[in-house]
Each structure stands twice: as C-alpha cells, then as structure tokens.
Structure 1
Amino acid sequence: MGYDIKISGGLVHDGSGAPPRHADIGIKDGIITAIGDCPDAASREIDAEGCIVTPGFLDLHSHYDGQATWDDQLEPSSRHGVTTTVMGNCGVGFAPVKATDHERLIKLMEGVEDIPGTALAEGLQWNWEGFPDYMNALDEQHRTIDVAVHIGHDPLRVYVMGDRAIADEEASDEDIQAMRRLVREAMEAGAIGFSTGRSDVHKTADGDWTPSSEATAKELAGIAQAFDGLDYGVVQAVSDFDLEREGDRFEAEWNVLEAYAKAAGGRPFSMSLMQRDFAPDQWTRILEKAEQMKAEGVDMRVQTAPRGIGVFLGLQCTFHFFMGYPSYKKIADKPFEERVAIMKTPEFKAQILSEKTDQLSGPGSSIPPLADLLMAHIDFVATKLFQLGDPPDYEQPPENALAAKAEAEGVPLMEKLYDTVLERDGKELIYFPIYNYTEGDYANVMKMMTHPQALQGLGDGGAHVGTICDASMPTYLLSHWTRDRRRGPKIPVQRAVQMMTGDIADFLSLTDRGYLREGMKADINVIDHAGLQLEPPHMVTDLPAGGQRLLQGARGYRATIVAGVPVVLDDKFTGEKPGRLVRAGRR
C-alpha cells in the first residue's frame, strides 16, 4: 500500500511520554497507517532529518467562540503546532441565544475577554439560536485546525432567565431544570463539556457582574447532573475566590466548586490555577483541595501555564500606564500617530508627568478594580515590568525590570515608563507577568505544571487580544523548558510533548488524536527543535471592523499536518483548510 505522505528520518515522540525513537511515519486518507520502517512509495515525502516528530498539540483553553465563526485560520494557535483547540471556556460564549440578546452577549464577551465589540458585531452572523444550531454553524466552515466547544453558563443563564440572569437573582428550580435540559441537549450534539465563570475580575463592557458569577451551589450542581450516564464530556470553572472583596471566602467558594464537580456524574473537572500577588499562597490551598477531591474519587485537574500569566502594556494595547491621566484623556480619541507625536513633545511630557491618574474602574466601567490597585502600587508593579527583547525573554531577573533601570539611570519611575512606551514610534510593548511571577522566577510555575493533576492550558488565543498573546505557549514550553532555561531545572522533551498531546486527549476523552499510533488521526508536527524560536509579539489590525489584536509567530515548524493535510510548511500557511468541528462522544 502506498502513502499519501511519508515523514522520514525524524525522532518520534509519540505523546505517551515514552523515550523517543527514530522512525518513519506513513499517512493514508488522513490516518497514520504505519510507524517504523515505511518502505512503500508516497505521493509526498517530508524530510524530518534532524527534527522531532510529535502529535499535533491540543489547546485546552482558547476562547475562539466568535473568531471561529468568521476566521478560517485561527491564529495565533495554528502558528504554534496546535491542531485541535477548545473554546467556550470560563462560562462565556454565544449560544444558546435569543435574537434580543445578541448585543448583551457581545458586551459580555467584550468585557470578560477583551475582544472588540465592534469586531464581534460585524463578524458574528448569528445564524443559530440553540447550541446544536451553533455547532452546526461551526461545522459548515472549514478551518486550518479542528475546534471543539463547551456550552457556557453565561449565555445559557441569559437564555433561560432573561433579565433575571444579570439582576443577581437565584435560579429557580424550573430555571435549573431548563438549563440542565439544554446542557444535555448540547452534550448529545457533541459539545466537549460545560464551563462556568466565577471571577470578580470578569465584567461586561457595561461594568456589570457576569451572569454566572454568583450562581449558587444548588444551581451548578443541578446543571452538572446533565452529565449523568455519559462516558464523555468535562466540566470547567474559573474563580478568583472573591479576592476583590473583604474577608477570606476561600472555603465558601470551594464548597460551591466541590458541589459542582461532584454532581457531574463522574466526569473530569478542571479549574484555572495561577499564583496571584495579592494572595500568593492561594494556589497551594487549591492544590491541597484538589488532592483531597482526587482521593475522594473526583477526577479533579488544574489548568496551568508554562510562564507568567502576563499582559502587555502599551499605547496600542487595551491598557497602559497613562490612560487615566487627564492630559492623556484629552488626546485619547486622536489617531495613533497623532497621539504619539503629541506625547513626544517636551511640553506634553512635562504636563502629564506633573499629574496623577484618575480612577479607571467603578460603576459603568468594564475596567476591573485591579487596574486602579496596580496603579496605586506602581512602584511595586514596576519591579515586574520588562521589555521582552528579540528573541523574547519571559523569565528575566529583577535587575532587568524597568524599576531597576530607572533607579540605575537616576530618573523618576513614571518618566522611565513614559519614555519606554514611546520607543519604536509608540509601538513598544511592556511585559507585566501579573500572575505566576511573585518571586521573580519560575520555581512555583514548575511546581504547578509538574503536579500530577496539572494540565497545560490557559492559552486564551482568542481572548484578551489587545492585552496578551499566550497562545504561543506550546512553542515556549518546547523551547524554553526543554532547551533554553538557565534559571532552574528543565523538563524532558518527551514529557513536554505528552503534556500538550496525550494528557489533554485523555482528559477530553478524544480517542482518535493525541498520540502517534497506527490507526490514529494524522495530526502531526515536524519541528526543528534546535532552531525552534518565538518571535516578538506585535499588534495587527485584521479583525472585523478594523479591530486590532496581538499576534506572535514562531520559527522552526517544518510541518504541521491536520488530518493528513499539511497546513504549515516551513513556518508558512499552505492555504489548506482540513480543520473541522470535533463532536465529543462520536466513535
């Protein structure tokens, strides 16, 4: 039997964590048909000499819910070896939805995930109402990579409860029954799972709490019962444990999450895990609780990241240091180049540096109180502000921080920040690892990501598009943690590959991908591991209605193959679109 594609001469990491071996791989009709000695002829041969060969990466947390309806390329994830991406995370999404609630869900996604509302308004076609209809709409479009989708709590609650969903009202028994029925309907249509969001940092574009943020344990447990009898599907949550409110509410919030997880019919449960500066030991409490739940028979996981959960601050970004200053607010609506020209004048600089920032958050503002808190403690924050450089360096020592540089240069901190954001004609990006960098290194990140209940996630490729660009984390994990790290221990390549492939496929009950084995779907990466390198993030204007977002490329992907079709060759898209909707529970 001949092959459509033969990958020859590579070092194969099969996704199981086993030691690699040199082998060829034969692909026919989108399936891996041979691994090892593949003597038959092939219509196309990919030379993998000097490269590692891995399963395609699975992206557990992406928020492409809107983008997937208009964008067939799904950058940045598709530039970083991802062949399957999961969206509908953190409780947000666009289905089910009534026609009267389109704008409401746009404002919700705009506020929570920093996706321009104008882009969503222009890009979304709304040719659906129920969740199965939404999945059918996704199914009609071909993409570079595969997508899977959770049904989110926020649109579900709005669909069932209407205005009561955002009026801080408890769901009635009838509401819970209706939501449970709709989740079951979504699962039977092939949804990957159900997600909820309980973060006080998340607000709508109008500054309101998200509909699901205050749902009771009774509501969440009642919805989770939709998984009874299913042998697929996962449940997911994000919570900051009411950090922005007074008092320690950890135990009360954990009790809600525990009831939710235990009601889900034995299905796996995951939640986001990170170290927060204002509660630096909270992550250890979460892991202790997760271990207890695991001992009680709950398949409890934590989604972790291989670097700081960071934001970029700059004049092109959603946030920067001077947006609350009176003088800046007077020019904020001017075109970018004009703003930069004004800011470069000595007179404007002297004026703005003589001012204080106004409050950014509050009633009617989608900006979280955290933004004001950070500006109030800017001297501390600046000890964690870095210029990334080229190639980007995400694990820099404290002496590289802008606070240290300002002190060494003998200039006031705000003047240093002002001059820095104006570099590269106002396009400079300042990296702030807001989470996971409390001690200025990755010692705790290592502990989180190597915990036996950890899963790689939190890439957020379709979210916070004017603030972060973390969908590049697969490339970062494979380059920094296995090859380049100098400030601590590394991770073996085979384990890093397993973290992004087999581990996630097993968690999601996706039995046709995540491993390089005969009979599996031919989702494959061929990577020049020695030459693998991230490029610096940059801002582009390619969203509908002229919306902007951060993108980050990479060098070293000799090939990314989806269903037996190369979608990336030598770091460039081929134009092929074999990606489809993944329906869970299908065999």
Structure 2
Amino acid sequence: MAGELVIRGGLVVDGTGSEPFRADVAISGDTIVAIGLDLPVAGDEIDATGCIVTPGFIDLHTHYDGQAIWSDRLDPSSGHGVTTTVIGNCGVGFAPCRAENRDQLVDLMQGVEDIPGIVMADGLTWEWESFPDYLNALERRPRDANILAYVPHSALRVYAMGERALRREPATPGDIETMQRLIREAMDAGAAGFATSRQFIHRTGHGELIPSYDSGEGELSALITAMEDRRRVFQIVLDVPRLGWEEELAMLRRVVGDSDRPTMFSFAQGVDSDAWRIALARVHEANADGQNIRPQIFPRPIGIILGHRLTANPFTDRPTFKRLPMDFASRIAMLRKPEIRAAILAEQDDADGNPLRMMASDFERIFPLRADANYEPDPQDSVAAQAGRRGISVEEVAYDLLLEDNGEAMLLAAVGNYANGHLDHVREMLDDPTCVIGLGDGGAHYGLICDASFPSFVLAHWGRDRTRGTMPLPQLVKALSADTAAAIGITDRGTIKPGLKADINIIEFDALRLHKPKIVHDLPAGGMRLTQDADGYRATLVNGAVIRREGQSTAARPGTLIRMGR
C-alpha cells in the first residue's frame, strides 16, 4: 500500500522489544499503514538512512496543566521524542474550580510545582469550571504533542469542600459523595484516572500542606471506587521519606483493596541506599496477590539544578545575599567582591531548614553540571570531594563554582537515586518488569528542574555511553513507549505496527547527545524556565505530521487530547 508519507531505509526499533530490522514505514493520514522494504510512496519521503526509527515516547508524569493552555508546544518534552504526556499528577491542577477558588489553585501549583504566580495569572484563561469543561478547553487548542489528564485530588477537594479543604479537615459523607459524582463525570468525559499526593514536601505557595495531604483512607478508597470498573489509573505520591516504604505501601494496598486497579506511585532510592529493595519486594507481593501496582521510576538522579539565575542556590537565604541587587550583572559583580564573599560564607541561613534548602546543601551529592551534561558523575567530582582535596570548606567551593561561566554556572544536586554515587541500582529497577519509566515533570519546576529530557538520556547513556554497563536498545525503546502506553491504558500507539497511530521518532543514534540545560524567557508575563536541547533527532512525528525536524519545531500542531474510553 502506498503511503502519503514514507520513512525510508531506517533501522526500525518497533517498541516490542524485538531485534531491530531494516524497513520502510508508510503512513497515511495519522496512521501507520505498512512496514516493509521498498514501499511505494504517493507523497513525501523522509530519509532515515543511518537512523533508528522508534515509536513516540510517552511521559506518564508531567505538569503541563497550565502550559497546555497558554502554549502550543509541550517543550522540553517534545524536543526529546515525547509524543504523549499525562498531566494532573501529584493531585494538583486547575479543574474543577469555581471562580472564587482560582487563587487557591494557583497558590497550590506555585508551591508544589514551582510555577510563578504571575505566569499563571497571565497565562490561564479560566474558561472552565468543571473537569469536563477543562478537557474541552484542552481539546480546542492546537499543540505539538498528545495529552491525557488525571483528575487532581487537591482541586477536587477544594471544589467540594471550599475552605475546609484548605484547612485539611476530614471529608464528610456528603463531601465524599460529591467528589465521587465529580469523578464519575470526569471519567465519562475521558479522564485518564485520579491522582493524589500525601507528600509532606508538597506545600502551597504560603508553606501550608496541600489539601490532599492527610486525606483519610476511607476517602481515598471511595474515590478510587468511583472510577468503577473502567481501567483508569490511580496515581499517588507517597509520604516517603517522612514515613517508611513499608508503612506507606501497606496503606496503598488497603485503599486499593482487592481490585486490580492500575496503580502507580513515584519511586526512587533515598538516603537509605537499600530501602528501595524492600519496597520493591512488597510490590511484588501485592501483585502476586492480584493487585496491579507499578512503581514509577526515573532513569537518572532525581535532582534539582542550582544557580544564580535559578530558584535556589546554597546561599539563597543568607542575609547578605538577600540584600544584593536583583539585576543579574550587578549581582554577579557584587558576588565577586572579597568582602561580600567573606560575609556570605560567614553567615547562616535566616530561614527555617525546609526540604529545598536542605537539598541545596548536601554537598556530597552536589556536582558541577557542565556542557557534557553528565548525570552519572564521579563522586570525586562532588563539591565535598573537591573541598576535601583543596583543604577548604564546601561553601567556598560551591561559591566559586557558581561564579564560573560569568555567573551562569549550574550545579546538580542529586537528591534521589544517587546514594551510592552511581546508577547500578537504577539498572536493577529498569530491569524489573513491575517498574515503569516516568517522572519527567515537564511543565513544572521551571527554575529548579529540567528532567523532561530523560528519554534522550536513556537512549544515549543507558544504550550507548555508560562505562559501568549499557542496556539493549530494544529494551530501552520498549520501556519508553510500549510499556508506558500499557501502563496508562493506551492501545492505539506505543509500537510501530500497521493500524496504530503514527507517533514516530527518527533518531541518528550515534549522534544523539544532550546539551547542558539553558534558560529561556518564553512564559507568560516574560517568565523564565529551564529547557534542554539534544542533538540527533532527525524528525519527530505526531499523528502522522512532522512536529520537529533536525531539532527545530515545525508549524505542525497535530497533538490531540486523548479521551480514555472513547
């Protein structure tokens, strides 16, 4: 069959885990129609010689809830081969919402996901109240990639309970009945599932715990039950490390009950380097008992980026630093003065030790983030190790490193997945069939995190460059596409197969390389965000249209809202 578009001569890594094979891929409209050699073409061709041809990647954990309203690009994700994203994670979002509660939901997103309030104030149109209304608003807008949406628990609670939700009062039977009705309406409209968070680090912009934080087990069970027998996902962020994995996973098993409800939770190695093994064993036990619980893992260190242009650095809360001019050039000039340096280094933070500040001060796990974007750095390159060799304080080393590159230098604080100074344990997670890759967090933490580039890292680092051992490319592509599609319940994409949607990447695998994150100012109200480029992407297609070519965005905006059950 002649395709309107043929991808010619590439090495197809089809997402099934099978060995790659040389073939053409023919596309008509938004659908793959044929795979084979020397396929006829009725329109355009893309030369894939020297490239791998993969399914589009799916990121199960993003926060494009706002960006999908004010922008037609889901960047950085779409620049790294991601063709489908899931929003509403962590139980925060913008629907359902009454007009009088808009400021509270903005405050929630500002605190939990580090999105400046002024950006949301300028960018959100608020043409919705109900969750189905919000889905309609998403559907009306063109964008480069596909999107699915969870119902966010905190927004749901505020809609049903008002100020009582903000005070985290227990839900009454009437409140629960209202939330169940709203969840059923959302499922009817195509929601991908229901998401919540119990994480004590998740705070509002004013530092308060979020509405979903200590919701009762009865409430969670009732809201899960409201999804009925539809195969929609329950996503949760557990309260670890404040509580242990054993305690939180036991709670998770209770609220899910006897059902095989698809359930995903964020999972990583913490400071206790081996606790994750016990947690994974408990997941295996749960699944052997008929439950369907999937740890959602990140394939490199879970970290934050520190710098003078960014949200945080180790000196953010020191009195002298806080008095420096806001103008960047003037601030850097002041920081170079010996007397300012001495004053800052002699001071203590003048704010309480919140988790963010603690993360920015664990110098054994803070590393320079240079042009090569090394996400498995040698422990000997840490700030603490450098300080030990030089016989000076860790603060002095960090101070000087941050002034490199005219003050534009960045440090990577490896908060999770790096207790041992390497990623061998992540290899074990990647090999575990219950674990699924996610946690790119695109659309959030604009001045703190740039993890949406992880698919490029997975292919280049785990598939080619890692000195401690690589992984088979077919396994990695499957983990980024077919496995993630199955986890969220998508059946019309995720592999390269006739009859499926033509979400496809064409990648010069040998040339694939991540760049250091960079700052751009393209948010509403001139807001700043981190993004990250990669070399090697010859083209990315969404629903049969080329959205990126040679690393540059095209004018095509074929992304759709995927409504589950329709």
Judge same fold: TM > 0.5, yes or no.
yes
**Contact 2:26–2:39 under 8 Å retained in 1:** no
Distance 1:516 1:271 in 2: 28
The answer to whether the 8 A contact 1:359-1:372 is kept is: no
Relative distance call for 1:371 and 1:28 in structure 2 (3 A) is: closer
Out of 407, 410, 413, the position equivalent to 2:388 is 407
Q: Partners in 2 of 1:85 and 1:95 — Cα distance? A: 18
Q: 1:276: how far off? A: 1.4
Does residue 541 in structure 1 map to residue 535 in structure 2? no
- 1:10 and 1:24 in contact (8 A); partners too: yes
Q: Distance in 1 between matches of 2:379 and 2:83?
A: 36
Change (3 A) 1:99 1:384: same
For the residue of structure 1 that corresponds to 2:421, the secondary structure is: coil
Q: In the TM superposition, what are the counterparts of 1:553-568 in structure 2 within 5 Å?
A: 553-568=533-548
- How much has 1:260 moved relative to structure 2? 2.6
Task: Summarize deviations over 1:214-261 as a string: whole Å, max 9, x none.
Answer: 01110000000112221x3111100133x34xxx66554333322232
Aligned residue in 2 for 1:505: 485
- The reply to whether residue 515 of structure 1 matches residue 495 of structure 2 is yes
The correspondence for 1:301, drawn from 276, 280, 294, is 294
Of 544, 550, 558, the residue aligned with 1:570 is: 550
Greater mean alpha carbon deviation, residues 381-390 or residues 125-134: 381-390
Contact 1:25 1:38 in 2 (8 A): no
- Which residue identity does 2:334 align to in structure 1? I
Alignment of 1:573-584 (within 5 A): 573-584=553-564
1: distance between equivalents of 2:141 and 2:256? 33
Partner of 1:371: 356
In 2 relative to 1, CA 250–82 (structure 1 residues): closer, same or farther, beyond 3 Å? closer
Q: Distance in 2 between matches of 1:105 and 1:113?
A: 11
- Counterpart CA distance in 1 for 2:244 and 2:440 is 28
Alpha-carbon separation, structure 2, partners of 1:528 and 1:56 = 15
Which residue in the other structure is 2:273 paired with? Answer: 280
Contact 1:17 1:495 in 2 (8 A): yes
Other-structure match for 2:471: 491
TM-score normalised by the chain length of structure 2: 0.97
Shift of 1:22: 0.7
Partner of 1:270: 264
Provide TM-score, normalisation by structure 1.
0.94
Given that 1:305 and 1:449 are in contact with CA atoms closer than 8 Å, whether structure 2 keeps it comes out as no
Report the equivalent of 2:214.
214
RMSD: 1.5
**Any residues of structure 2 matched to 1:106-505 within 5 Å, and which?**
106-230=106-230, 232-241=231-240, 243-244=241-242, 250-262=245-257, 265-277=259-271, 279-331=272-324, 334-361=326-353, 369-374=354-359, 378=361, 381-486=362-467, 488-505=468-485
**1:211 Cα deviation after fit:** 0.4
Task: Tell whether the 8 Å contact from 2:168 to 2:212 is kept in structure 1 after alignment.
Answer: no
For residue 322 of structure 1, what is the amino acid of its counterpart? F
DSSP-derived class of the 1:539 partner: strand
2 CA distance for matches of 1:132 and 1:552? 33
Equivalent AA in structure 2 for residue 577 of structure 1 = R
Matched residue, 2:42? 42
CA displacement 1:289-315 (0-9 Å, x = unmatched): 211110111111010011000110111
User: Once the 2 structures are TM-superposed, how far is the Cα of residue 2 of structure 1 from its aligned partner?
Assistant: 3.1
The percentage of counterpart residues that share the same residue type is 43
Letter of the structure 1 residue corresponding to residue 256 of structure 2: A
Could you tell me how far 1:526 is from its partner in structure 2?
0.5
* CA-CA distance at 1:374 after TM superposition: 4.6
Counterpart amino acid of 1:106? Answer: V
2:508 aligns with one of 523, 528, 545 = 528
1:365 aligned partner: none
In structure 2, relative to structure 1, the CA distance for the partners of 1:228 and 1:29 (3 Å cut) is same
Q: Is the 8 A contact 1:360 1:371 kept in 2?
A: no
The superposition leaves residues 476-534 of structure 1 with CA deviations (integer Å, 9 ceiling, x where unpaired) of: 00000010000x22110000000011111112221110011101111100100011000
Runs of 5+ unmatched residues, structure 1: 362-368
Kept after mapping to 1: 8 A contact 2:7/2:47: yes
The answer to whether the 8 A contact 2:315-2:349 is kept is yes
Partner of 2:26: helix, strand, or coil?
Answer: strand
* Structure 2 equivalent of residue 24 of structure 1: 24
Equivalent pair of 1:56/1:524 in contact (CA under 8 Å): yes
CA separation in 2, counterparts of 1:206 and 1:455? 33
Residue aligning to 1:366: none
Pair 521,250 (structure 1): closer, same or farther in 2 beyond 3 Å: closer
Q: 1:127 to 1:493 in 2, by over 3 A?
A: same
- 1:460 offset after TM fit, Å? 0.3
CA distance in 2, matches of 1:550, 1:254: 34
1:227, 1:267 within 8 Å by CA — same for their partners in 2?
Answer: no
Q: How many residues align?
A: 566
Q: Is the 8 A contact 2:370 2:410 kept in 1?
A: no
CA distance in 1, matches of 2:292, 2:280: 13
Q: Deviations over 1:35-59 (max 9, x none)?
A: 0134322311111111110010011
* Mapped partners of 1:507, 1:373: distance in 2: 34
Aligned to 1:545, the other structure's residue is in SS state helix
Render the CA deviation track for 1:154-174: whole Å, top value 9, x for unaligned. Answer: 000000011111213111111
What is the CA–CA distance in structure 1 between the aligned matches of 2:303 and 2:121, rounded to whole Å? Answer: 27
Instruction: Measure, in 2, the Cα distance between the counterparts of 1:459 and 1:444.
Output: 19
Mapped to 2, the partners of 1:578 and 1:556 lie a distance apart of 22
1:393-447 per-residue CA deviation (whole Å, 9 max, x = no partner) reads 1111111112222232333321111111111221111011110000100111112
**Whole-angstrom CA distance in 1 between matches of 2:158 and 2:347:** 43
Please give the alpha-carbon distance, in whole angstroms, between the structure 1 residues aligned to 2:487 and 2:133. 26
- Which ranges of structure 2 fall in alignment gaps of 5 or more residues? none
SS at match of 2:279: helix
Could you say what secondary structure the match of 2:226 adopts?
helix
Worse-superposed segment, 1-10 or 12-21:
1-10
Q: Distance in 2 between matches of 1:374 and 1:24?
A: 48
Say whether 1:550 aligns with 2:550. Answer: no
